[in-house]
Amino acid sequence: MPRLRILVVDDHEMIRRVLKFLLGSRPEWQVCGEAANGKEGVLKAEELQPDLVLMDITMPEMNGVEATRRILKQVPSAKIIIVSQNELAVIRRRDVGAAAYVAKSDLSRDLLKTIDDVFAQS
């Protein structure tokens, strides 16, 4: 079975570790890279061509809203899930084009199911 290749973009190292730990429970998923800001995330997405990007919103260099828009233009096959402390209503008002949203406070409960749901629709 092909692996789902995932890029993790978050400016907090601890959150990146938590995400990688949660994703590690699924052997068919592979974290192919990580980035500490939106600008780096866009560059890594172009280079790595991931299937999925887990994207924070509030980051230095380039915020997740702009990074998401750029990644979707440059890697249109990628799905993006926003992983943020920001309110869902704020994200929706910005129309970022992400496939889904998971609040950081709900990661352990919702992340894996959300990923499954996003790729079940594909």
What does the pLDDT look like over 7-54, one tens digit per residue? 999 999 999 999 999 999 999 999 999 999 999 999 999 999 999 999
Nearest CA to 50 out of 88, 99, 108, 84 is that of 99
Q: Is it the case that residue 1 has pLDDT exceeding 80?
A: no
Its domain, for residue 115, covers 4-120
Res. 94: pLDDT tops 60: no
For the chain, percent of residues with pLDDT exceeding 90: 68
CATH number at residue 92: 3.40.50.2300
pLDDT of residue 17: 96
Split into its structural domains, the chain has a count of 1
- Please state whether 114 falls in left (phi above 0), alpha (psi between -120 and 50) or beta: alpha
Predicted confidence at residue 52, as pLDDT, reads: 98
Task: Decide if pLDDT at 87 tops 80.
Answer: no
What number of other Cβ atoms are within 10 A of residue 90's Cβ?
11
Q: Which of 4 and 92 is assigned the larger pLDDT?
A: 4
